[in-house]
Amino acid sequence: MADTAFSRSCRLLTASDYKNVFDKSQLKVSNRYFLVLATTNSSPTPRIGLVIAKKNVGKAVHRNRIKRLIRQSFRTQKSVLDKLDLVVLARKDADKLENQAIASLLTQLWQDLAKKLARIPTSVNQ
């Protein structure tokens, strides 16, 4: 149960945390509805930040649903994303998808990210 928790240590908290990922992203994966930027970190757990713009997802209820689904997907896939700082950006029309479709798209993004992470040199990976 504790392994799937979404504690404070699993979140990007400050503007400088987000800036670091945006400026120094080493990995990028995307599909039509989501973009994931990632950079390695020194903490033992992966950390995630969410950017769900009102411009792209108009209603608050839809933004909150997407954030909840992203957090849930992140919690279940944490072991694949070891030692990464991630920022997930929602694109236009992400709110039009059903929950199951969003979950499967995110799972595919996490797998693609893990593949890219395995390909980068180990000196950068640590």
Smallest CA-to-CA distance from 70 within 92, 43, 89, 91 is with: 89
CATH tag for 2-125 (out of 1.10.3720.10, 2.120.10.30, 3.40.50.300, 3.30.230.10): 3.30.230.10
Query: What are the helix and strand counts (H, E) for the chain?
Result: 4, 4
pLDDT digits (tens, 9 = 90+) for 63-111: 999 999 999 999 998 888 888 899 999 999 999 999 999 999 999 999 9
Sign of the torsion formed by the C-alpha atoms of 39, 113, 123 and 5: positive
pLDDT digits (tens, 9 = 90+) for 12-67: 999 999 999 999 989 999 999 999 999 988 888 899 999 999 999 999 999 999 99
Q: Are 28 and 35 in contact (CB under 8 A)?
A: yes
